[in-house]
Amino acid sequence: MIKFIASDLDGTLLDDNKRLPEEIFGLIDALSERGVLFAPASGRQYANLRTLFAPVADKVLFICENGALVRYREEMLYCNPIENVYLPDALDEIRALPHLYPMLCGTDFAYIENSEMPFFQYAMLSYTNCRKVENLNDVIGRENICKIAVYDEIAAAENCIKVLPARLPRLRTIISGFDWCDVSSPSANKGEALRFIRKEFSFRKEECVAFGDHMNDYEMLMQSGYSFVTENAYPPLKKLIRRTVPSNAEGGVLQAIRKIIDCIDKGEPYEIAHCV
């Protein structure tokens, strides 16, 4: 029987206007009634995710900051931050490259030092708890830093992902969207978060389902017994994860969850691959 469902948000569950379909709240209620735990799994911060899922916030588990932070019913269950010693050099390397803007993402707040548009607007819209500071170095030590989100004015796949990994060999750099890269602890990813969740809640791999659309979802998909990408997913990921659901614009994840609930109600827990 399926006991856990995780879904990425941007490009996966959210529509093309980055809106959360209201239908998801009823589906989460239905899953909860059947003993299935749902988790939004995103690069977004906890405050933003909890606001998005406010009607069902106490029924879901939050995988935040691309897996560096897991919270459930206000309790922090897991945190895999960047060691403070690596942060100053990482910021210097990012600042040294044109078109890149760093953001420090802590367990409670996100911090930026640039006010250029559209970076400033995107930061304030995407991060509910976001503070503008004079210098990001002054923030180090205030709270654990889950990741450095890097906005790329050009395109992450064409620019920063080609240069940052070599400049930051002690950290993990991965594309998290069209114009974003995330820099994190080498072992921080959604897959490691899911591995922790499976152990914490005694979920078997075959009891877990995951949906994603970009490379920052890959490890999570590999840690799930049933893994799906949306039709609009990043092409290299689609080549790796061959099972698909309709695009985010078509509500593919919603369709899949409805069919999963139907399979559970019919007593067919191992037929999910045929239901989607």
Model pLDDT for residues 214-254, shown as the tens digit of each residue:
988 999 999 999 999 999 999 999 999 989 999 999 999 99
Tokens linked to 39: 């988790």
pLDDT of amino acid 272: 53
Cα–Cα distances in Å, from 53 out to 39, 40, 47, 111? 10, 9, 10, 23
H-only helix segments in the chain: 23-33, 46-52, 87-95, 119-126, 160-167, 190-201, 218-222, 235-240, 252-265, 272-275
pLDDT of amino acid 268: 76
pLDDT tens for 16-58 read 999 999 999 999 999 999 999 999 999 999 999 999 999 999 9
3-state secondary structure of 209: strand
pTM: 0.91
**Domains within the chain, CATH numbers bracketed:** 4-79+188-275 (3.40.50.1000), 84-184 (3.30.1240.10)
Q: What percent of the chain has pLDDT over 70?
A: 97
Closest residue by Cα to residue 234 from 251, 256, 216: 216
Mean pLDDT of the chain: 94
pLDDT tens for 95-115 read 999 999 999 999 999 999 999
pLDDT tens for 171-203 read 999 888 889 999 999 999 999 999 999 999 999
Query: Contact, 128 vs 47, CB < 8 A?
Result: yes
Give the CA-trace dihedral at 229, 18, 43, 35, to 10 degrees.
Answer: -60
Rg (CA), the chain: 18
pLDDT of amino acid 271: 54
Tokens linked to 93: 């390397």
Cα–Cα distances in Å, from 7 out to 49, 121, 186? 12, 25, 22
Q: Across residues 138-160, what is the average pLDDT?
A: 95
